[in-house]
């Protein structure tokens, strides 16, 4: 990605995180947050296992996992997202959660096999090279470790004229302002211009298998939720 485009994208997501993100929570978020906590609890072998929230946004999933007793690292490349996440982190969680600015389009600043579990919530579709990003997640995940991937298919509103899509999203705001409406309009326009990918569950499974993950379960949703594992040994292609 060109440095100027990268800067503009990062600036946009920082602003979106500060002013809009938490006001546009998806209706399924609370249920999926609980489900992800239960999934990782079910695969936990030791107390205080390490979890990477890769693309943590404003930190809701990371905070829920920290409260459940995991040691969580949330990374995002948008400073505005991380600023909101830091505000939410209470003093009693300071030993269990940390947030770092990091780009999923680049090599992650963690050693190999560092994490017991990784979650990636509706982020892979906006990375520049999804296979590279999955490769980095595989690298920093322990053998036998869990990857939870959540992907939101193309919404029905994308079949509407752009103006109607923006109107629908703005209608979900409790407190409206020209600034927030402009950010929502910019995001909707960028999605229409192809900056967001939409995959089927089958395509996601093939991508994960190509990156050496074993797929354990698939929920078609929406949203699509796939639980995968880094196997103890890489399977040789047939």
Same domain for 87 and 187, yes or no, is no
Is position 234 within any domain? no
Is position 48 within any domain? yes
Nearest to 84 by CA among 26, 17, 30: 17
Q: How confident is the model at residue 238 (pLDDT cuts 50, 70, 90)?
A: very low
| Confidence check: pLDDT of 13 > 90 | no
Which alpha helices (H) appear in 20-170, and where do they start and end?
29-42, 60-67, 79-88, 130-140, 162-170
* Domain span including residue 166: 160-196
pLDDT at residue 201, rounded to an integer:
96
CATH of the domain at 126: 3.40.50.150
Same domain for 113 and 175, yes or no, is no
**Cβ neighbours, 10 Å, residue 78:** 25
Same domain for 50 and 149, yes or no, is yes
| Confidence check: pLDDT of 124 > 80 | yes
The model's pTM is 0.84
Same domain for 145 and 183, yes or no, is no
pLDDT at residue 51, rounded to an integer:
98
Phi, psi at residue 149, to the nearest 5°?
A: -115, 120
Is position 236 within any domain? no
In this prediction, residues 76-94 reach a mean pLDDT of 87
pLDDT at residue 93, rounded to an integer:
83
pLDDT tens digits, 149-191? 999 987 666 666 777 777 767 766 666 677 677 667 766 666 6
Is position 72 within any domain? yes
The span from the CA of 45 to the CA of 145, in Å, is 10
Is position 190 within any domain? yes
**Maximum distance among all Cα pairs of the chain, rounded to whole angstroms:** 57
Q: How many domains does the chain have?
A: 2
pLDDT tens digits, 132-159? 999 999 999 999 999 999 999 876 666 6
Same domain for 95 and 144, yes or no, is yes
Give the list of residues 6+ apart from residue 167 with CB closer than 8 angstroms, or none.
none
Same domain for 180 and 212, yes or no, is no
Is position 235 within any domain? no
Same domain for 124 and 169, yes or no, is no
Q: How confident is the model at residue 65 (pLDDT cuts 50, 70, 90)?
A: very high
Same domain for 14 and 120, yes or no, is yes
End-to-end CA distance of the chain: 35
The span from the CA of 132 to the CA of 1, in Å, is 14
Same domain for 164 and 56, yes or no, is no
DSSP, residue by residue, 191-206 = HHTT-S----HHHHHH
Same domain for 188 and 204, yes or no, is no
Is position 98 within any domain? yes
- Of the listed ranges 109-118, 187-196, 204-213, the least confidently predicted one is 187-196
| Confidence check: pLDDT of 222 > 70 | yes
| Confidence check: pLDDT of 76 > 80 | yes
In this prediction, residues 43-58 reach a mean pLDDT of 94
Same domain for 122 and 184, yes or no, is no
Same domain for 11 and 53, yes or no, is yes
The span from the CA of 72 to the CA of 62, in Å, is 6
Is position 33 within any domain? yes
Nearest to 60 by CA among 77, 27, 84, 94: 84
| Confidence check: pLDDT of 195 > 80 | no
């Amino acid at each position: 990605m060109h440095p100027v485009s990268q800067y503009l994208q990062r600036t946009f997501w920082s602003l979106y995180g500060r002013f809009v993100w938490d006001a546009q929570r998806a209706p399924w978020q609370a249920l999926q947050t609980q489900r992800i906590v239960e999934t990782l609890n079910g695969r936990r072998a030791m107390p205080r296992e390490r979890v990477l929230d890769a693309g943590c946004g404003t930190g809701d999933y990371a905070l829920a996992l920290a409260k459940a007793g995991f040691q969580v690292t949330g990374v995002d490349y948008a400073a505005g997202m991380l600023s909101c996440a830091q505000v939410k982190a209470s003093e009693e969680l300071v030993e269990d959660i940390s947030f770092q600015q990091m780009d999923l389009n680049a090599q992650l600043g963690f050693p190999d096999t560092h994490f017991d579990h990784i979650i990636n919530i509706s982020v892979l579709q906006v990375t520049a090279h999804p296979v590279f990003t999955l490769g980095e997640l595989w690298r920093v995940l322990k053998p036998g470790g869990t990857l939870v991937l959540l992907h939101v298919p193309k919404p029905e509103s994308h079949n509407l004229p752009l103006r109607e899509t923006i109107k629908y999203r703005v209608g979900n705001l409790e407190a409206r302002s020209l600034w927030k409406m402009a950010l929502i309009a910019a995001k909707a326009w960028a999605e229409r211009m192809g900056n967001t990918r939409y995959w089927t569950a089958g395509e996601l499974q093939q991508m994960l298998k190509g990156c050496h993950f074993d797929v354990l379960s698939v929920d078609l949703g929406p949203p699509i939720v796939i639980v995968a594992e880094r196997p103890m040994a890489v399977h040789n292609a047939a």
